[in-house]
Amino acid sequence: MKVGLIDYGMGNLKSVANAIEKVGHTSKIISKPEGLSEYDGLILPGVGAFPEAITTIHNQGFDQAMNDFLRLDRPFLGICLGMQLMCQSSQEGGFHKGLGWFDATVENFPIESGLRIPQMGWNQLYPEKKTNLFKNINEDLDVYFLHSYYVSANELSDVLATTVYGIKYASILKKDNICAMQFHPEKSQHVGLTLLKNYFS
C-alpha cells in the first residue's frame, strides 16, 4: 500500500514515515494538494497549534483535496493534532472551526484537576467496542501521548477507545473510512505499530 503523509508544516513526518515502512507499506511526504488520488491511504499528522494548522490547510488548498479523497473510500488516519483538526471546532486560542469530519469538539483540560499540561508520556487505551483495529495486541494498550487539549465526542458510536487523564476522553475515533488517534502510534512501540498495521491492512 502506498500511504501519503500530508505535510502542512506541522507534522512529525519522518518518524511516521518510518513506522509506515516498518509495517510493510511505502510512504511519501506530500507538500501539495494535487494528486492525492494516487495514494491508497493518507495520514494527517500534526504537532503544534490548531489555529495555525487549520489556517495553513485552508490556505494551501488541502481541505478541498482531502474532502475529495474521502469520497474514494480509502483509509485516512489523523494523528494527534491531525485528529483534532478532523473535529468540528477547537477552543485552542479562542474558537476555531475544524474540518468537521467528526461530530466532536476540542476542549481545554479542566484547570481545577491540577493536571500537568500537556499530557506527556504513556497512558492506557480502553477499547469501547470490538474491532479488528485491536487484533494481535495481547498486552496492555499503553501508548504515547503529547497534547494540551482533548477531544469530546458528541457521537459516541464514533468512539473506538477512551483514555483517562483527569477526565475520560476519546482517544480513537472512527467513522466510515476515517480514523483518528490522539496519541502517537509511531512512538508507541509494538502496540502503535500493530494499530497502524491493522488500520492500513
Nearest to 88 by CA among 165, 154, 178: 154
Q: Does the active-site annotation cover 80? A: yes
* Distance separating alpha carbons of residues 148 and 139, to the nearest angstrom: 27
Nearest to 86 by CA among 45, 47, 123: 45
> Which residues make Cβ contacts (< 8 Å) with residue 85, sequence separation at least 6?
44, 46, 50, 53, 54, 57, 78, 98, 99
Per annotation, catalytic residue among 25, 34, 186, 190: 186
- DSSP code at position 118: S
Q: What residues does 106 pair with on adjacent strands?
A: 90, 151
Q: Does the active-site annotation cover 184? A: yes
Supply φ then ψ for residue 137, to 5 degrees: -115, 105
Per annotation, catalytic residue among 25, 96, 147, 184: 184
Per annotation, catalytic residue among 80, 87, 147, 179: 80
Cite the active site residues. 80, 184, 186
